[in-house]
Amino acid sequence: MEHLVNHGENPIDGVVLQTLKVIEDERGAVMHMLRADSPLFNRFGEIYFSEVKLGIVKAWKRHRRMTQHFAVPTGRIRFALYDDRNGSPTQGNLSEIELGRPDAYRLLIIPPGVWYGFMGLADRPSVVANCADLPHDPHESENCEPDSALIPYDWNRRG
């Protein structure tokens, strides 16, 4: 099976990438993430923040039922996604997406069944915000190591 790494449009079925609104002035910024009246909002489960230091990888994870809604309000993060879902039209595809301010403040929605991980790219700790549609349940997800042979991705191949 061919593995595709795409840096622009997303080649993984069900993954959504949307530019988010930032309102800035001399006092600072207001950064939107997700509203209850958005067509991208399903339901509220929990919100959490993950701090990621430069060069640190947090990977791999996939959820059976939970949808992730990620944004990076501080710093810069490279997300890597891998689709090994049976029957998916994009099975076997890889995707890389960078999020962060000022030029890539976006919402990344990852549906259930897609493997994902992320790496800190900024010289200061980055913050990943996640608004999940279900509360955390350790029995609902799977994990594997960043260098797992199950996922054909090398975290060290770029910056």
In a domain, 153, yes or no: no
pLDDT of residue 159: 45
- Residue 77: CATH number of its domain: 2.60.120.10
If the chain, 159 residues long, is cut into consecutive pieces of 10 residues, what is the mean pLDDT of each piece?
A: 46 94 96 92 94 98 97 98 97 96 96 98 98 95 96 82
Evaluate whether 1 touches 91 at the Cβ level (below 8 Å).
yes
| pTM (2 d.p.) | 0.91
In a domain, 137, yes or no: yes
pLDDT of residue 158: 55
pLDDT of residue 5: 47
The one-character DSSP state at 6 is E
In a domain, 73, yes or no: yes
Query: What domain range includes position 13?
Result: 5-21+47-143
Please give the tally of structural domains in the chain.
1
**138: nearest Cα among 79, 71, 66, 67:** 66
In a domain, 100, yes or no: yes
As a whole number of angstroms, the distance between CA 109 and CA 104 comes to 15
- Provide the token pair at 115: 């493997």
pLDDT of residue 10: 55
Helix (H) or strand (E) holding 121: none
Measured torsion, CA atoms of residues 156, 55, 74, 69, in degrees rounded to the nearest 10: 50
In a domain, 151, yes or no: no
Per DSSP (E only), the strands in the chain are 5-6, 16-19, 22-25, 28-31, 46-52, 57-63, 68-74, 76-83, 94-100, 106-110, 114-120, 126-132, 141-143
In a domain, 93, yes or no: yes
In a domain, 148, yes or no: no
In a domain, 111, yes or no: yes
